[in-house]
Structure 1
Amino acid sequence: MSDERSAFSRRLADAMRTAGHEPRPGVLERLFNQRYAGKPVAFQTASRWLSGQAIPAQDKLRVLGELFGVAPHVLQYGERAGLRVAEARLGWPVNATALDRQAFNDYLRLPVAQRQLVREFITALVGRDP
């Protein structure tokens, strides 16, 4: 097992734990295939990712990053890879879970009219004037 693949598997397992999932191949396979639009991955593929035998292709890294709330390049290369001079980006609140981020990403995919309905519903739930 190469150091790069081993480090990737540790980062993937850590990301899964942080998102509230047990880092097991069956769990990863199910979550990934629910989200990935391409050909589903096999249990063995998820196992190879978690055991440090393989690193997924970039399109799969993007999906893994979305699933677990980690930038794909950080998932692949680690935190140090993300260090560069750039405009500051707003991060998620500390208490935002992976499910919260997923809900917001789903919201952004809605048509404008449906987004307005969601905003009105949330406003009504919190009891704030529109």
Structure 2
Amino acid sequence: MSNLDEKIAFSLRLKQALTQAKHPISPTYLSREFNHRYSGQPVSVQSANNWLLGKAIPNQDKLLILSLWLNVSTQWLRFGDQDSNSSMTFNRANANSKDVDLIVKIKSLTFGQRKIVEDLIEEFSKC
């Protein structure tokens, strides 16, 4: 699949996810809602418009935020490899920006660091 085809396919999946989540397909709405959930550099309305028009694909950390917000897998949103309705263990509808920030930070850790965090969470969840 060409780069242009990948961008168009991504935009179709993004629009599908927005529609399924009962959100409008609007670059202004998308950028505003995304930026409420993202702790990095805010995305512009133009960037969100480029995602919707199939001119650009966001990087991995932005894909993660979109997938959490829209309750789809990151893999499906980026590549279309999974069913968009596959069940996930994380209830994204109740996630706030701090939850998402924590997930992004954990995903950026090395394998060993992630294992320590996972073991610690397991230990605390036994209480």
Following superposition, the deviation at residue 73 of structure 1 comes to 1.1
CA-atom RMSD in angstroms:
2.3
Q: How far apart, CA to CA, are the structure 2 residues paired with 1:70 and 1:23?
A: 16
Q: How far apart, CA to CA, are the structure 1 residues paired with 2:57 and 2:15?
A: 13
Q: What is the TM-score with the length of structure 1 in the denominator?
A: 0.64
Following superposition, the deviation at residue 101 of structure 1 comes to 3.5
Instruction: Return the match for 1:67 from 58, 63, 69.
Output: 69
Which residue is equivalent to 1:13? 15
- After superposition, residues 1-130 of structure 1 pair within 5 angstroms as 2-78=4-80, 81-82=81-82, 91=87, 101-103=92-94, 105-106=95-96
**Amino-acid identity (%):** 41
Gaps of 5+ in 2: 100-127
Aligned letter for 2:87?
G
Q: How far apart, CA to CA, are the structure 2 residues paired with 1:46 and 1:5?
A: 13
Gaps of 5+ in 1: 84-89, 93-99, 110-130
4+ long deviations beyond 2 Å: none
Q: How far apart, CA to CA, are the structure 1 residues paired with 2:34 and 2:87?
A: 24
Structure with higher Rg: it is 1
Q: What is the TM-score with the length of structure 2 in the denominator?
A: 0.65
Aligned length: 92
